[in-house]
Structure 1
Amino acid sequence: MEQESIFSARALSRKIGSSLILDNVSLSARQGDIITLIGPSGSGKTTLLRTLNLLSPADSGELDISGTAIDFERYNKAQEKAIRKKTGMVFQNYNLFNNLTALQNVTEGLVYGKKSNKKEAREIALHYLSRVGLADRADHFPANLSGGQKQRVGIARALALQPEILLLDEPTSALDPENIGGVLQLIRSIAATGQTMIISTHEFSFAEKISTRVIFMEGGKIIEEDSPAVIFHQANNERTRHFVKKVQHY
């Protein structure tokens, strides 16, 4: 018996000025799915991820995360909060508060978003900082952390919220080459726990190993969607094949 989707987005569209950034985009995920978004810059990947946790709401379309549903043309603050509680976002440029320690960056969302008390938030934050290998950096400010360590704090912050869907926007794009492997290995270990994830990345070798499904986007549309084996080695769409070949040989 096929597992039901815990997440679905239907007919998402978003315009900025006269430009259509998302054009009737639909996707779904089952528990434990790792969906990878690939495509050229400006294809809509980041906007899609930001739409899924309402950082950049769509103009139209519907979103449902394990029974919490909204229609983007008419929703209220309570629905918005409910959706955000079910998603965690990891940003390509970390988005840490520079005036807060690693520990405080993680507890912030727990105290103000989930309304945890400070003692509980600290315990949860320390647990997730330990999980990402930064227990000894809890009292360090971002200025005293490497790029890889900052991204680990960002991942700990997202995981601490215990999201149903973890959204990762080019999580290694701002990292030095020596830090990329460690962050990718961390994401693999998170995937092994059954965490459902949607990831935007240009790390194709990583995506091929970790993904249950790969989506190629261009011009705000989903051009092709299939297994990693198909997308990376025998894509049906000529544009998909051209893009994959170009990136793989870069």
Structure 2
Amino acid sequence: MRRIHVIGIGAGDPDQLTLQAVKALRDSGVFFVLDKGDATSDLTRLRREMLRTHLPEGSYRVVEARDPERDRRADGAAYAPAVGDWRDARAALCERLIGEELGADETGAFLVWGDPALYDGTLGVLEEVLARGRVAFEYDVVPGISSVSALAARHRTGLSRVARPVQITTGRRLAEGFPEGVDDVVVMLDAHQAFRAYAGQDVDIYWGAYVGTPDEILVSGPVAEAGPRIERLRAEARARKGWIMDTYLLRRRPADGR
């Protein structure tokens, strides 16, 4: 039976690899890497550097393939179907790679940024591959340090406050308003900087891009003051690198000031 490790490798800092992740790396002989082209080639390079650091040369193979393109123009009612089509294409690609590149008694691995259980589709894709019934394998999941945890640590703040909930959401949802009954919101996948809508309110932002990498950028403060700087830095970084990975915590200040 083929075996696969889905390994969370942290938000970008090679030192964020856990001991469990290193053990899983050493137990794997084939590593599947889906790259997104030249714009994000440094992400592929970071993965390879992690492997070279922890594994003997010649003890493993890296299988690279181009990640299917997603229709990023889709919005509104068309958004969910577009994501579904992309995941179907990903499943077909992974099914082929596992079937052709992983021997019946070999162990392979997918290296997932952050934590595989948080805003990543690898687990869903592997379940879809299994459901197709053409390729059989067992898999396990190694948790990693998420960008959310790394962001809070770099800003030296907690994600929640005493007796108050915290919610993780997307920029699309935040544009509809703060979740009811929640004052601390972690926002991921926000291409349109929905935090701008809260510049006139008593809301603080803790923002980070490329957290854990040499390109890390951190900004915090009231949205009214920090927001314009974030917009400028984000635009400059995206133009310079061709891509950006960022997330932020929005914190509404209570009326009693605590």
TM-score (norm 2): 0.29
Larger-Rg structure: 2
